[in-house]
Chain A
């Protein structure tokens, strides 16, 4: 199952130096891993295979060709349509998330090439309010789909989200509809959409664009599901088995096309882009990957942000 796309040879030359934190503790096997070794291994634990969570920027950097990424719609920022206040006002939560992640919102979108194949891409940032989908995420997904229609480049979206953003109320629910109409138009245009389910992909994002891909790939061990584990356990009044709602569980139930280990992801997407008729940027065929976006990226330790 793991070798569906073949094991690639991966260049590991252009890593940046890591100034601090030489050792990282794996949250699954608790082993201490030399950070450089972890980086070389795409932040997959060399002992237990645990895929540490990646920031959106790192995600794009390890799959895209060097210097090929052009970001779009970075200027879109959220509003506070409800005047929502819980423990703190929604605008303050947004500012905190922006400060912590250095991103304006929970998704980075743009265009780039993978092994020379041109694509419209988007990567979600789980560290930004749990990767929740509000108006900006919905808008950027929709614009990406529209850009894919206009340029006839396949769309690749990396999902990592707890679902719809409660603080934007029913308007956040409507982002599922917004993304769906845009992806419906992409389907009508006959342009491919590849969805990659990263850890975690749940709720309204799982129940909209993440599962609307022509092809659906998942990272090993990624948590993917509609309802939260606790809600299900409370509903059915029994404990759920180990491994419930993991990528492997989805594979067993016929819900994903392939589980792709992270070192295989770039060549897998490159190959699929060729199958999907992506326009080729000849100058970039054979180019290396970008390499890590930032050595001090806030979510590089693989832990869920607070």
Chain B
């Protein structure tokens, strides 16, 4: 059995359920004081502007401190922050002359996925991403970024068009997951995701994937089978939401904090596991604090990777994509003695695909 990986919790040890870190407590206290001062200003006509300004600065400092080294659970909150850039912001920054394409040609247009063509760094490219809203109204219109089968079918249609045009694909992941609805099942949510995975695996054009916020399980992966996987510093990518995991394992959805830690869903963890190729650093305070800077960081990284794919033959591209995903996962082969140098942790965790036993 592999040694337990280093504990990623900051501070003296794992936080007990329901507790908050000291920075979070301080921030809550400052925010409470701010609310009081604002109420006093409004109701008693006192000028407390100086105190309010000072407290606001303190709150901002604390938020930045939290974002500098967030716990896994804090990372979950950051990844879901409504102030983070949305797919529209990234597309506006990445592409000029964007033409959005609608519909799966069979049932309807899914507003939870935005897909289309644009000029990226002087070349045509397809852009596909989950669309979360900024506020409740927009979120309802976009189904909180949770696609139905027709969303994945639209995404795939646009990716296939890119393949035909010899244009690369950029996918932007930010979803709680595929929509768990009655109609979604009737229209084949499983089939839509399965088909997206199979066809992305075979796509004869480069795919650059960026996890920008919430990478919610199969609904995220369905547009995430990229040649290179980039991840914003405070994004998450998980097989199940921490709350869902806690509800199943401990029959208590409120123990998400523990599950967030156990599941190891941060960019840093996933880089260690080889799931993520590169972390895109976020501006101080997080992407929500400086959305323009976050968008700029994503643009720079995407441009750099797209440039590296220019001129790569499709067969080589697909062979590399095959190897990339084929290797993922840790397992042990009891039937095959560990060859020296086969894996750095010889005798323990070997990457799958490292050897074939018959």
Residues in A lying within 8 Å of B, measured CB to CB: 72-87, 91, 134-136, 138-139, 142-143, 164, 166, 168-178, 180-185, 187-188, 203-204, 206-212, 224-228, 231-232, 235-236, 238, 240, 244-245, 249, 253-255
Quick check: is B184 within 8 A (CB to CB) of the other chain?
A: yes
A78 contacts B331, C-beta separation under 8 Å: yes
Q: Which residue, of A134, A187, A206, has the highest number of chain B Cβ atoms within 10 A?
A: A206
Q: Inside 8 A of A75's CB, which chain B residues have their CB?
A: 333-336, 357
Quick check: is B5 within 8 A (CB to CB) of the other chain?
A: yes
- Among residues of A, the one whose C-beta sits closest to the C-beta of B3 is A83
Q: Of A135, A183, A208, which contacts B352 at CB under 8 A?
A: A135
Q: Of B190, B198, B328, which contacts A175 at CB under 8 A?
A: B328
A204 contacts B322, C-beta separation under 8 Å: no
- Which residues 138-193 in B have Cβ within 8 Å of A in the complex? 178-182, 184-191, 193
Q: Which bracket fits the contact residues of B? A: 35 or more
With contacts A79-B2, A232-B180 taken as known, whether A204 is within 8 angstroms of B239 at the C-beta atoms is yes
Quick check: is B32 within 8 A (CB to CB) of the other chain?
A: no
A178 contacts B331, C-beta separation under 8 Å: no
B194 contacts A210, C-beta separation under 8 Å: yes
Separation of A255 and B190 alpha carbons in the complex (Å): 10
Q: Of A136, A139, A255, which contacts B188 at CB under 8 A?
A: A255
B264 contacts A169, C-beta separation under 8 Å: yes
User: Can you sample 24 A-B contacts with CB below 8 Å?
Assistant: A76-B333, A79-B332, A80-B1, A81-B330, A82-B263, A83-B5, A86-B250, A135-B352, A139-B353, A142-B353, A166-B263, A168-B330, A169-B239, A170-B263, A173-B237, A174-B325, A175-B329, A180-B200, A181-B225, A184-B202, A203-B218, A212-B195, A235-B180, A240-B182
Q: Inside 8 A of A142's CB, which chain B residues have their CB?
A: 326, 352-353
- Nearest CB in chain A: distance from B9 CB, A: 13
With contacts A210-B190, A253-B188 taken as known, whether A76 is within 8 angstroms of B180 at the C-beta atoms is no
Quick check: is B212 within 8 A (CB to CB) of the other chain?
A: no
B330 contacts A173, C-beta separation under 8 Å: no
Q: Which 5 A-B pairs have the closest CB atoms?
A: A135-B329, A75-B335, A227-B180, A83-B4, A184-B201
A171 contacts B275, C-beta separation under 8 Å: yes
Separation of A78 and B1 alpha carbons in the complex (Å): 9
B189 contacts A207, C-beta separation under 8 Å: yes
Q: Inside 8 A of B264's CB, which chain A residues have their CB?
A: 82, 169-170
Q: Of B2, B195, B238, B353, which contacts A173 at CB under 8 A?
A: B238
Separation of A181 and B322 alpha carbons in the complex (Å): 6
Q: Which residue, of A82, A91, A136, A212, has the highest number of chain B Cβ atoms within 10 A?
A: A82
- Nearest CB in chain B: distance from A47 CB, A: 29
Q: Inside 8 A of B45's CB, which chain A residues have their CB?
A: none
B336 contacts A174, C-beta separation under 8 Å: no
- Among residues of A, the one whose C-beta sits closest to the C-beta of B236 is A170
- Nearest CB in chain B: distance from A69 CB, A: 15
Residues in B lying within 8 Å of A, measured CB to CB: 1-5, 178-182, 184-191, 193-195, 197-202, 217-218, 221-222, 224-225, 237-240, 244-245, 248-250, 262-265, 269-270, 273, 275, 321-322, 325-326, 328-336, 348-349, 352-353, 356-358
Separation of A60 and B348 alpha carbons in the complex (Å): 32
Q: Inside 8 A of B195's CB, which chain A residues have their CB?
A: 211-212
B185 contacts A245, C-beta separation under 8 Å: yes
- Nearest CB in chain A: distance from B277 CB, A: 13
With contacts A166-B239, A175-B328 taken as known, whether A187 is within 8 angstroms of B198 at the C-beta atoms is yes
B330 contacts A79, C-beta separation under 8 Å: yes
Separation of A135 and B353 alpha carbons in the complex (Å): 10
A226 contacts B178, C-beta separation under 8 Å: yes
- Among residues of B, the one whose C-beta sits closest to the C-beta of A138 is B329
B217 contacts A173, C-beta separation under 8 Å: yes
A77 contacts B334, C-beta separation under 8 Å: yes
- Nearest CB in chain B: distance from A177 CB, A: 4
- Among residues of A, the one whose C-beta sits closest to the C-beta of B261 is A82
- Among residues of A, the one whose C-beta sits closest to the C-beta of B246 is A86
Separation of A80 and B3 alpha carbons in the complex (Å): 9
A181 contacts B325, C-beta separation under 8 Å: yes
Separation of A174 and B239 alpha carbons in the complex (Å): 9
A sample of 19 more A-B contacts (CB under 8 A), given A73-B357, A227-B185, is A76-B331, A80-B1, A87-B250, A91-B1, A168-B329, A169-B238, A169-B273, A170-B270, A172-B329, A177-B221, A177-B325, A178-B326, A178-B352, A181-B326, A184-B199, A206-B194, A207-B190, A231-B244, A232-B182
A227 contacts B184, C-beta separation under 8 Å: yes
Q: Inside 8 A of A180's CB, which chain B residues have their CB?
A: 194, 197-198, 200-201, 225, 325
Q: Inside 8 A of B225's CB, which chain A residues have their CB?
A: 177, 180-181
Q: Inside 8 A of B265's CB, which chain A residues have their CB?
A: 169-170
With contacts A75-B357, A208-B193 taken as known, whether A166 is within 8 angstroms of B332 at the C-beta atoms is no
B273 contacts A170, C-beta separation under 8 Å: yes
- Nearest CB in chain A: distance from B268 CB, A: 12
Q: Inside 8 A of A207's CB, which chain B residues have their CB?
A: 178, 189-190, 193-194, 197, 218, 222
Separation of A139 and B190 alpha carbons in the complex (Å): 21
Separation of A72 and B240 alpha carbons in the complex (Å): 31
